[in-house]
Structures are given as C-alpha cells and as structure tokens.
C-alpha cells in the first residue's frame, strides 16, 4: 500500500500524542487524536491499542470521512465513529482530541458539568456539559457527544473522559489541557469552600475577548 498521504498530519498526531502523555492527560494507549485535511478530504487518526511512544508515521491511519481506509498499519482507533461524526456535524472543526485526563474525568464520572468557575472555561464554551453515557466505540456515544457538544469546543463524556475539538490539532490539544486545569481548580475549590461562578454576562465578555486574544493557530 502506498504511504504518501498526510505526511505532516501523521507527524503532528505523533507529536501531540506524546504531548498528551507528558502533560498527564492520558496514560498507556488511552485517548485518541485525529485531524482532518479538508482540502484533500482525508483524516489522520491514531491506531487502536498502540502506546504513544510506540507510534510511527506508518502506523497512523489515514481514512476518508466515510471511514474508508487509505493507508496505515493496524486498526483505527475504537473511537473513530465519534471523530467522524464530529467532522460531519462541525465544518469549523479540523481536529479532535479525546483524553481520560483525571480531573475532567472525575466530573464526568459524577455526571456533573463544569460551570464557569474560571474564565478559561470559555475555551470550551460557557460551561463544559456532560454527554450522557453510552458504551465506548458505539454510534450511540457518537450521537451523544455530537448533540451535547453543539457549538462548544469541549464536552465531558459520562463515566469516560473528555473530548475537545478545534480548527487545528494545536488548538484542540490546548483546549483539552485548559479544561483539565479548570476541572482541577474546580475540584480543589469544592474541597475547601464554595466556588464562585462567573455570570452569563461576564462569560459573554470573556468569549468576545477570546475572539481576538486566542488568535487562530
């Protein structure tokens, strides 16, 4: 099989996979990443069950938006379904990062959304909602994530983890990291007191300011 598609994207997937591991956003082969080159109509996605340090460019899977395999050794991520569903639902999204980061996942396991206790919640939206539970790898999970995410950029997956999306892999990764930080701060705040949440109006202002402060990457 020819291995000539998405060379840059496949290298990026490996770089951000390793970053995901070193940032403590996942362990082992948990979580997955993908990016969509809309000009070429091709998606690069992590393979299933390979630990991040063992990833090679030839091991990154390349597929069409309908899931037809173009190249790559091994099998695509078990969560390919929700990656593809997100690209179909959101024309502004070119990258998806899924983590099992511990603080965000703690709230996901409580079925508890993350309110705007810190302005950085605006990376995701006015809050981080919880997509109802469905078993991993299922179409039900894809539907749950897409419908709960709406126009936001991150969503908790009940009893599972976090999904962040963005126009680039770098942006989706940053959002996953910022939401993990906010989840940790929220958890710590709950441990010693009652967190103060920002108002709807205050969050409107933050989100407006992010349009120029968080420049496209």
**Which residues of the shown chain bind Zn ion in the complex (CB under 5 A)?**
161
Q: C-beta of 10: minimal distance to Zn ion in Å?
A: 21
Q: Which residue is nearest to Zn ion (CB)?
A: 161
Do residues 48 and 21 make contact, with C-beta atoms less than 8 angstroms apart?
no
Q: Which is nearer to Zn ion, 124 or 145 (CB)?
A: 145
Cα torsion through 8, 12, 15, 16, rounded to 10:
180
Q: How far is the CB of 185 from Zn ion (least distance, A)?
A: 23
In DSSP terms, 44 is beta-bridged to 35, 62
Q: Which is nearer to Zn ion, 47 or 161 (CB)?
A: 161
Nearer to Zn ion, 71 or 80 (CB): 80
Residue 129 C-beta: closest distance to Zn ion, Å:
17
DSSP state for residue 120 in the 8-state scheme: G
Judged by DSSP in three states, 155 sits in strand
Nearest to 69 by CA among 57, 77, 61: 61
- Residue among 79, 113, 143, 167 flagged as catalytic: 79
* Catalytic residue flag (residue 180): no
Place of tokens 């079925």: 111
Q: Determine contact, residues 80/68, Cβ cutoff 8 Å.
A: no
As annotated, the active-site residues are 79
């Amino acid at each position: 099989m020819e291995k000539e598609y998405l060379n840059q994207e496949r290298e990026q997937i490996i770089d951000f996979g390793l970053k995901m591991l070193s940032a403590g956003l996942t362990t082992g082969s948990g979580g997955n990443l993908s990016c969509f080159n809309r000009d070429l109509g091709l998606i690069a996605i992590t393979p299933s069950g390979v630990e991040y340090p063992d990833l090679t460019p030839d091991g990154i899977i390349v597929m069409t938006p309908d899931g037809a395999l173009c190249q790559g050794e091994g099998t695509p991520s078990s969560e390919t379904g929700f990656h593809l569903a997100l690209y179909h639902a959101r024309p502004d999204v070119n990258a998806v990062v899924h983590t099992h980061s511990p603080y965000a996942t703690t709230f996901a396991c409580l079925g508890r959304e993350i309110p705007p206790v810190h302005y950085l919640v605006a990376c995701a939206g006015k809050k981080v909602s919880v997509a109802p539970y469905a078993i991993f790898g299922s179409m039900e999970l894809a539907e749950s994530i897409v419908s709960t995410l709406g126009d936001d950029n991150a969503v908790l997956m009940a009893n599972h983890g976090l999904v962040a999306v963005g126009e680039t892999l770098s942006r989706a990764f940053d959002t996953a990291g910022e939401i993990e930080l906010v989840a940790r701060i929220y958890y710590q705040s709950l441990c010693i007191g009652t967190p103060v949440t920002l108002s709807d109006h205050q969050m409107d202002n933050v989100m407006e300011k992010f349009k120029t402060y968080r420049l496209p990457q």
